[in-house]
Structure formats: structure tokens, C-alpha cells
Amino acid sequence: MTTNKTSILKPLPDPFYTGMEGVTNNQHKGVGECRGVEAAKKFFESRLAGCDRREVGDEFKRTLVLEAQRSKQLSAAKAKKKPRVFKKMLTAREKRDLGLHRLPKKGLNYQQFKELHELWKGYMQELLELGNLKQAGWRPGNLLEPKLQQLQMKICRADFHGAIIKVEKADCTSHVGNIGICLMETKHTIQLISLDNKLRIFPKKGSTFSLEVDGFKFSFPGSAMLTKPPDRATKKPKLKMPLDF
């Protein structure tokens, strides 16, 4: 059995236009869209209960989107929408499992990091403005001197990666005298590679370190550096100024 597709779409019956000044279905073909809407309103109002008739006008004010148009709008919205980026932080256990806070103890060569040290010296000379200090003939003196306190603050906030650091004092006597280039700094430790190509880890707490920049030697307590390197650039030292430099 075949069905004529055109028979699916049929005009509304004449009773639909009852009350529209005698406008029949055939006459409706020439009537404007406005009169068709009014006819539809009267049609529903005549067949709905009194409490629902008040909603007829609001329903005709709504804009109905065809499914084909809706799919196009959704696809356009998805194209404009940026992909979500999940910023999930790694836990402390995951960082330890990945070894993010440790360098390999084998395969490192001291000579490979001399260029890193040269870059660090240029960075520190600019940070501490040592050229101006030399021209002014400045020499370290009273710990309460404002200039010395400014230098202390800059040292506490400086990046040590690439610095040649020496352990001056330590609770563990075997640590005293060790010297090397700083390859990694964490919240509680400093990792140095020495001339014998061995990587050694020294705790900050209970140790005093020193470094030299362009003829100036700076000694600082590790307990003043018990923060992560990125945090030291913005936070003040835990110990009160002036520090035991």
C-alpha cells in the first residue's frame, strides 16, 4: 500500500476559523499571518479551561526553533566554545613517584653546567647592581645599614640555580666544606654537583651556605630559605631582618 506524501500536509478544517468574521479555509489563503495567529488563539481559547486560557497569549509569543535550526546553532556554539583545560595539580605522592624533586645521581658532569653558572653570575650582577656598588666604593659594615638590608632581601629572593654554593656550617660535620653548582633547590634541600661529578643533597635547616659574586661573598642561613624557590621571589624571609649574613 502506497501513501501519497502530499496527503500528510492538509489545511486546517473550516471550523478552525469559526468566529473570524466568516473567513473560510479557502479564503484564509489570502489572509495575512496576523489574522491566522488570531484565529489560532480563538481556536485554543474556545477549547481550553478558563485557567489555561490566560496562557494562550504567552505561548504564541514564544519563538519556537526548528530541530534543524537548533542543530546548526548548537554546532556553531560548540565551534566557538574553547576546549576546557583541566588544571589538576599533582599530589605530593605523585611528584615523588615521578621523581620531580630529584636528579639522577649518575650521568651528570660538572663541566656541563659551567655555562649555567656564567649565566647565573650575569643575572646576579644585574640583580644586586654590583657595578654601582663598586663605583660608589661601598663596603659591608653595620648590619643595620639600609643598603646591606636591601642586599640581604635580594639574596633571599634570588634564584640559586647555577650558583656555586659552599656549605660553611652544618649540624652534620661531614657536610662542612662541600662546594658545587646548584642544580636543584626544593623547599628543604639544595642539590649540588661537585668537581668529582657527584650529586649531593644538603638540608637547608641547620646549615649555613655561602656564595661569591664579582668579589663579594655572601653567607646566609638555610633556615631563612625554607620556602619553595618560586615563593621566595614574592614572600619575605621567615626570619626577621637583618639576617646573619
3-state secondary structure of 119: helix
**Residue 230 banded pLDDT, cuts 50, 70, 90:** confident
pLDDT at 10: 64
pLDDT at 115: 93
Calpha distance 189→201 (Å, rounded): 6
User: Thinking of the domain 109-232, which architecture would CATH place it in?
Assistant: Roll (2.30)
Burial of 124-162, coded b for 16+ CB within 10 Å and e otherwise, reads: beeebebeebeeeeeeeeeeeeeebeebbeebbbbbbbb
pLDDT at 52: 72
Would you say residue 225 has pLDDT above 90? no
The helix (H) or strand (E) run that includes residue 146 is: helix 146-157
* Model confidence, pTM: 0.57
Cell triple for 79: 565551534
When mean pLDDT is compared over 3-12, 51-60, 139-148, 171-180, the highest value belongs to 171-180
User: Domain ranges in the chain?
Assistant: 7-80, 109-232
Q: Higher-confidence residue: 56 or 142?
A: 56
pLDDT at 30: 44
pLDDT tens string 151-186: 878 888 888 999 999 999 999 999 999 999 999 998
